[in-house]
Amino acid sequence: MDIRIVDAKIGDADFIAKCVLAAIQKYDFVSCFDSDDPFNISILNKSRQPDTIFSYRNTRIAFCDGNPVGSIVSYPGTIYKEARRRTFESSLARESDMECNEDEYYLDSMAVIPQARHLGLGKLLMTDAIRRGMDKGFKKFSLIVLDRPDHEHLKGYYSSLGFQPLNDIAFLGEKYTRMVMDRIYKHYVMWKFMGDETQRTESALWMKEYLEALPGIIPGLLSAKVLLGTDKMQNYDALLESSFAGEESLSSYKVHPEHVKVSEYCKNARESRTSFDAWSEI
């Protein structure tokens, strides 16, 4: 199974619009899409434009074996006010509270088609958006959840990714809870490998190649960097510095098949291992 997350293109606007509508429970991917509905037409048009909230430029799409299966809209808070003005035209929208602040990277609308919801793609899309925000220098991430009993499970889901409730807002006539993430969970591992210097170096380089390729593959894993021969390592050959969207993401990472492959190799190559975990500001 080949899963890729890529930048959306203007030709993806139809799929983006369906995902945005699914995220706000206006479409289920099963019913026939009503292309004559004025609201649906509006979202589709906004997805095609370059400077709206739901623009293809703000969207990443997940493909599974070449087919689109989900998307996420996310963007810097610095563009939010102007993009919102270009997206919503009603007085109700103009009077609504702000969903995010300028110093935040905002995760807006995310949806995955029903047939692909067992693949962890929602978490992978969330991780991808957070990584993109971190690459842009943002240290705080936000989203909103509808404040209704049937949405409480979503608050728990986002909490598992490190988001915490901050305040309530009114948006488009509904009450939402704003959730913010400004910390990541760090995981450090040091290894001393068996053999002579050449063998130990080969083992360390193998670990570096495979571990640094895992972000983007394992949901919740934000970064992985393997250092060789630094003062931090004392008598060890390699040091892994990795970060996760929440503590639960580390637990999932440990049993993910791609990490298990690395772990099995390491068990046969290492002489000793030590590790520690800690929360850290982004």
pLDDT tens digits along 169-178: 999 889 999 9
pLDDT band at 230 (very low <50, low <70, confident <90, very high): low
Tell me what pLDDT residue 248 has. Answer: 95
Domain boundary among 157, 181, 205: 181
Tally of structural domains, the chain: 2
- Look at the block and give the residue holding tokens 């948006």: 171
> Residues 67, 168: one domain?
yes
Asked if residue 133 and residue 118 are part of one domain, the reply reads yes
Indicate whether 152 and 28 sit together in one domain.
yes
- Residue 136 structural domain: 3-181
pLDDT given for residue 98 in this prediction: 93
Shared domain check, 189 and 67:
no
> Are 232 and 165 in the same domain?
no
The string of pLDDT tens digits covering residues 202-226 is 999 999 999 999 999 999 999 999 9
Q: What is the pLDDT of residues 119-164, one digit of tens each?
A: 899 999 999 999 999 999 999 999 999 998 988 999 999 999 999 9
| pLDDT exceeds cutoff 70 at 61 | yes
Show which of 123, 155, 181 is a domain's final residue.
181
Q: Are residues 91 and 217 in the same domain?
A: no
78 and 23 together in one domain: yes
What percentage of the chain carries pLDDT values higher than 90?
87
For the four alpha carbons of 251, 256, 262 and 265, in that order, the dihedral sign comes to positive
Q: Which CATH number fits the domain that encloses residue 91? A: 3.40.630.30
Domain's final residue, options 120, 151, 181: 181
Q: Are 162 and 183 in contact (CB under 8 A)?
A: yes
Same domain flag for 68 and 90 = yes
Residues 22 and 130 occupy one common structural domain: yes
CATH number of the domain residue 190 falls in: 3.30.70.100
**18 and 127, same domain (yes or no):** yes
Same domain, 176 and 254: no
- 161 and 219, same domain (yes or no): no
Instruction: Give the amino acid at 269.
Output: A
pLDDT class of 195 with cuts at 50, 70, 90: very high
The reported pTM is: 0.92
